[in-house]
Amino acid sequence: MTRGPSDSGPQGAAALRGSMDATTAPHRIPPQMPQYGEANHIFELMQNMLEQLLIHQPKDPIPFMIDHLQRDNDYVPKIVILGPPASGKTTIAMWLAKHLSTNLLSVESLIAKEYSPLAADARMHYQKFKMVPDMLLIRLMQERLKEEDCVRRGWILDGIPETREQALTIQTLGISPRHVIVLSAPDTVLIERNLGKRIDPQTGEIYHTTFDWPPESEIQNRLMVPAGIFEGETARKLLEYHRNIVRILPSYPKILKVISADQPCVDVFYQALTYVQTSHRSNAPFTPRVLLCGPVGSGKSLQAALLAQKYGLINVPDNIIMKVLKQRLDQQDCVERGWVLHGFPRDLDQAHLMDNLGYKPNRVFFLNVPFDSVIERLSLRRTDPITGERYHLMYKPPPTIEVQARLLQNPKDSEEQIKLKMDLFYRNSAELEQFYGDAITLNGDQDPYTVFEYIESGIINRLPKKVP
């Protein structure tokens, strides 16, 4: 009698269901699928759209999503700059706004807005009490952020939020910055700075009698001393700032960068600019496809082995011809776990061939090492012909004079052969660097584990935007 599934008991039925369920079987994902998703940021696109849906909760989500996609503003600047009085936050905010072509919003600019009943109320309140109520300020900010230029070009909030209550209210309304910068300096420095502060009433630019005095006499003559600039008032504002900032910072745990303001303003600006032009680590699924380029002796093989060991990437050596390479990269472990390829392509033709076959690395690193360092690394290598043990006359010398006497040098480690290989690499490297426009160049002439940390950081984090 033939037994049915029920005759074999619960375990047999479960096994049969498992064998019939196609979702439990391993799936072969075509390499083009993850490449398309990564290249077009599909995960981030869906994540941003879902975030906006949950924040705004439109009655009809389809037109809302279409409108959101047509705006194409997921990556416009959304920056908050905070800092104590005289830390230079307004100057840095103005420079960033000009450089990024975005909108600068401050308490002063919000309450000065024309043709806005809310701004008129805020001005009346400020004239009477020298402050604006939290909810009125936030409603003003909401009104401004909905305007087309803020939607299209983004925004920078200068000194907002001022309190934890403001920060939490802003978050509940779905106003989420991507980068938060906090400027920091000793109070003694800030008090000294504040006493010399001057403001241009026409442009809003801020100057200083000691550190930043304008050369034009016309500007000098119209500069004014801002209200409240004396030591006691500055100390009071600093105390209030310190009391509030420690309660604001926990609201932005993963997007916060503290920059020392006790340095030249230009240095502060470039640190801030570098930060706001970086992308935060994405939660998107990511399969590393890493290309390591560099001259002979640059440490490519070691870095590839370290990546393979730590992240399970498939280490593909450089002695695989293109046909065999294609077969290897098409195997399931490479598709699922990613790969690290070193020493190939060697020239532009090979790079084009790889690209045309669909093998597009998403991280490319060039390791630069001076010629003298490469000579030191390679020309001093020796092998014991009896034991097969490998030595280096500087880093790993032989244990005895007897062993040293019988050591042999591989002919390919001669200075002439090394120079030929390095010349060949650098003859082609410029074209390769141009072909892989997002490549990251590293100094390979340092401790291998330091180099590995830089490579690891470049893989884990999203590629930085090129600074114009």
| Common-topology check for domains 76-277 and 289-460 | yes
Alpha carbons 74 and 464: distance in angstroms, whole number: 16
What pLDDT, on the 0 to 100 scale, is given for residue 21? 47
Alpha carbons 45 and 39: distance in angstroms, whole number: 12
Please give the angle made by the CA atoms of 85, 86 and 92, to the nearest 5 degrees: 105
In this prediction, residue 192 has a pLDDT band, given cuts at 50, 70 and 90, of confident
Alpha carbons 288 and 459: distance in angstroms, whole number: 7
**Amino acid present at 384:** D
Please give the angle made by the CA atoms of 77, 88 and 156, to the nearest 5 degrees: 15
Alpha carbons 242 and 193: distance in angstroms, whole number: 17
Lowest mean pLDDT among 10-19, 126-135, 273-282, 333-342: 10-19
In the predicted model, what is the mean pLDDT of residues 117-137? 83
Return the residue matching tokens 């959101």.
Answer: 68
What pLDDT, on the 0 to 100 scale, is given for residue 29? 64
In the predicted model, what is the mean pLDDT of residues 324-337? 83
The enclosing H or E element of 190 equals: helix 187-195
Which tokens is 175 given? Answer: 């106003």
Largest CA distance in the chain: 108
User: What percent of the chain is modeled with pLDDT above 70?
Assistant: 89
CATH number of 289-460: 3.40.50.300
What pLDDT, on the 0 to 100 scale, is given for residue 158? 93
Alpha carbons 259 and 275: distance in angstroms, whole number: 10
What pLDDT, on the 0 to 100 scale, is given for residue 245? 93
Please, which residues have CB within 8 angstroms of residue 196's CB and are 6 or more apart in sequence? 208, 209, 210, 211
What pLDDT, on the 0 to 100 scale, is given for residue 20? 42
In the predicted model, what is the mean pLDDT of residues 418-422? 87
In the predicted model, what is the mean pLDDT of residues 220-229? 80
Task: Render the burial of 163-186: b for 16+ CB within 10 Å, e for the rest.
Answer: bbebbebbeeeebebbbbbbbebe
Nearest Cα neighbor of 164 from 257, 82, 260, 255 is 82
Please, which residues have CB within 8 angstroms of residue 65's CB and are 6 or more apart in sequence? 49, 53
What mean pLDDT, rounded, does the chain reach?
Answer: 83
For residue 198, list its beta bridge partners.
207
User: What percent of the chain is modeled with pLDDT above 90?
Assistant: 21
For residue 341, list its beta bridge partners.
291, 316
More confident residue, 95 or 32: 95
Please give the angle made by the CA atoms of 72, 77 and 80, to the nearest 5 degrees: 145
User: Which CATH number applies to 76-277: 1.20.1560.10, 3.40.50.300, 3.40.50.2300, 3.30.1330.30?
Assistant: 3.40.50.300
More confident residue, 3 or 51: 51
Task: Parse the chain into domains and list their residue ranges.
Answer: 33-69, 76-277, 289-460
In this prediction, residue 120 has a pLDDT band, given cuts at 50, 70 and 90, of confident
334: phi then psi, degrees, rounded to nearest 5: -70, -40
Alpha carbons 135 and 385: distance in angstroms, whole number: 82
What pLDDT, on the 0 to 100 scale, is given for residue 390? 92
Which tokens is 348 given? Answer: 């532009």
